[in-house]
Structure 1
Amino acid sequence: MEYNYIKALHLIFVITWFAGLFYMVRLFVYHAEAKQKEQPEQDILIKQYQLMQYRLWYIITWPSAILASIFAFWMLFFTKSGEIWLTQSWMHIKLAFVLLLYIYHGKCHQIFKQLQKNKVKHSSNFFRIWNEGATIILFAIVFLVIVKNEMSWIYGTIGILVFSILIMLGFKLYKRIRENTKEK
């Protein structure tokens, strides 16, 4: 019974962690676009985005990442199921994707710090593509946890690659639609 509570808390904080990452990068997009605005609108928008980023990052995203990890470690190292999972290959691959997620989170933190100083080093289009990194990691982790050993790793890898290509094609289509809308 204790295990189900730990798992539920882990899942809740994973969801809020991803929500924070998704929204944070959207705020990066808006911040980069605000940099192109005329004064005084630029200053007003950037100040607001910096405040929103700060609150989101330190009140939701970081605490969620830490709590999701605490409950994950608890499940892995202090339950019987965790002992079994640590011997299975799907868990090793999942943990590799979690490591990739922490690297993504760290890069977002680096970008966050730059934007807090109003140093915009990337375009809004870069941030739109960057936002899809978390989506790809999320899909990989969820499928690994749900299907575990039921799916061949070859098909899983091909699926992630196809999904990534579809996301990039969707981005290109969205960009084309936005450009056509601006011309009208």
Structure 2
Amino acid sequence: MNSIFAKDYFAMIYLYLKATHIIFVVTWFAGLFYMVRLFIYSTEANAKAEPEKSILTKQLLLMQSRLWYIITMPSAVITLFLGGWLAYLMNYWQQPWFHVKLTLLVGLYTYHIICGRLHNQMTKGVFKYSSKQYRIWNEIATLFLFSIVYVVILKNSLNWIWGVVGLIGLSVILMLGIKLYKTVKKDD
């Protein structure tokens, strides 16, 4: 009877950890996606004439700071903690697909750190990139999201190959979408 209880208890803990991990992954990505949108809006506001420039920039930078420090950063930390706990419990370290996921996660956390630096630059009044460049930057998080989900769900190498082909297709579609948006915006 004790071993059945232990298995049920372990399964319950695993499912709660996994569900909570997924929730924080979602909030982290929501923060990353919206953060870069705020970079776009802040850059466009910075190009406006006064007093509109000062009013908009101040509000958008406040929104960036709140999003970054209240949602995005804590979600990234909690995601990492829960993901590490799950990897330990399930012994994922020995599975090849997990090594691919870890590589993608290093890229995603690098993206996250760069977003933090871009936010800090903007709070200091430094706007290095155009809104178009930020639109392209925003799509990188999408590519990480698709890649990580495909690796976790598909797990075997043949499916990774199809996943990469799909990812390349998605990249092309995203770039065409940005180009179309730019064309439509010029017409306005």
Q: Give the SS at the match of 2:139.
A: helix
| Structure 1 counterpart of 2:156 | 149
Q: Give the SS at the match of 1:152.
A: helix
CA distance in 2, matches of 1:152, 1:67: 29
CA distance in 2, matches of 1:57, 1:151: 37
2:99 is the alignment partner of 1:88: no
Q: Deviations over 1:129-152 (max 9, x none)?
A: 100000000000111111111743
Greater CA drift, 85-94 or 163-172: 85-94
Letter in 2 for 1:66: V
TM-score w.r.t. the length of structure 1 is 0.93
Q: Give the SS at the match of 1:146.
A: helix
Pairwise CA RMSD of aligned residues?
A: 1.1
Gaps of 5+ in 1: none
CA contact (8 A) 2:151 2:160 kept: no
CA distance in 1, matches of 2:158, 2:149: 13
TM-score w.r.t. the length of structure 2 is 0.91
Equivalent of 1:12 in 12, 23, 26: 23
CA distance in 2, matches of 1:3, 1:94: 19
Gaps of 5+ in 2: 1-11
2:51 is the alignment partner of 1:44: no
Q: Give 1:156 deviation, angstroms.
A: 2.1
Q: Deviations over 1:56-114 (max 9, x none)?
A: 0000000000001100011111x1x2x1x222221111111111000100110110000
Moved over 4 A (4+): none
| Structure 2 counterpart of 1:180 | 187
| Structure 2 counterpart of 1:63 | 74
Q: Give 1:160 deviation, angstroms.
A: 1.3
CA distance in 1, matches of 2:95, 2:168: 23
CA distance in 1, matches of 2:157, 2:115: 33
